[in-house]
Chain A
Amino acid sequence: DAKTTQPTSMDCAEGRAANLPCNHSTISGNEYVYWYRQIHSQGPQYIIHGLKNNETNEMASLIITEDRKSSTLILPHATLRDTAVYYCIVSPLYNFNKFYFGSGTKLNVKP
């Protein structure tokens, strides 16, 4: 069962910020928001996760709305190597029974 909604695809110019939205209106209080990406023919790669506060690491920033019903992944300076499918997942931290990747957003970074 899909618990997240993402656009099918997005384009971004190289060097600009990529903002990838995700709706998760039925998120439960103990569920985290995870972001993974999958570059063509490779295994998925973890990007970032958060519960309710905004998070930042060397790869990206995660902005979660105050009601936690949606979030945005921000790649501050997209490069061609960031072209990938980006998955938004909601799941409890220690329970993977419902770790559902869904269809994701295909991000195309263009020169």
Chain B
Amino acid sequence: DAGVIQSPRHEVTEMGQEVTLRCKPISGHNSLFWYRQTMMRGLELLIYFNNNVPIDDSGMPEDRFSAKMPNASFSTLKIQPSEPRDSAVYFCASTSYTENYEQYFGPGTRLTVT
């Protein structure tokens, strides 16, 4: 398996623009996670899905952030409008009960908002 795939790997955008980050989980995994990592706040869980359904989005910082999982093989994290403080590395991870809930992380998307 290719592992968790994230795109783009790097994104530079201007403040106010819409940003969409994409994630393809490992085939067969039924749980998907979005994390954000910054120097100040470390690695934070934003939202996670079970069987394509959002279970807990309490980590989503504000309404500018939204996440969807239209099917088992694809998820998006959208920021609209983006702000400089959204600059961070965003990780997607997936797992399942067959993996004993070990989370497999993607390589991350480094977002820079100018």
Real binding pair: yes
Residues of A within 8 A of B (CB): 36, 38, 41-46, 49, 87, 93-94, 96-97, 99-104
Question: Across the A-B interface, how many residue pairs have beta carbons closer than 8 Å?
Answer: 44
Give the complex CA separation of A111 and B80 in angstroms: 47
| Chain B interface, number of residues (Cβ within 8 angstroms) | 23
Selected contact of A43 from candidates B42, B58, B102, B106, CB within 8 Å: B106
Q: Is the CB of A43 within 8 A of B107?
A: yes
Contact residues of A: prevailing secondary structure:
loop
Closest to B97 in A: A94
Q: Is the CB of A101 within 8 A of B56?
A: no
Give the complex CA separation of A36 and B56 in angstroms: 22
Give the complex CA separation of A101 and B55 in angstroms: 19
B33 / chain A contacts, CB cutoff of 8 Å: 96
Closest to A101 in B: B43
Whether B45 is near chain A, meaning CB under 8 Å from some CB there, is: yes
Whether B25 is near chain A, meaning CB under 8 Å from some CB there, is: no
Q: Is the CB of B56 within 8 A of A44?
A: no
Closest to A48 in B: B102
Q: Mark B17-61, 1 if CB is under 8 A from A, else 0.
A: 000000000000001010000000011110010000001101000
Q: Is the CB of B42 within 8 A of A103?
A: yes
- What are 24 inter-chain pairs, A to B, with CB distance below 8 A? A38-B43, A41-B108, A42-B107, A43-B4, A43-B91, A43-B93, A43-B105, A43-B108, A44-B105, A45-B105, A49-B100, A87-B43, A93-B101, A96-B45, A96-B56, A97-B55, A97-B56, A97-B58, A100-B45, A101-B42, A101-B44, A102-B42, A103-B42, A104-B42
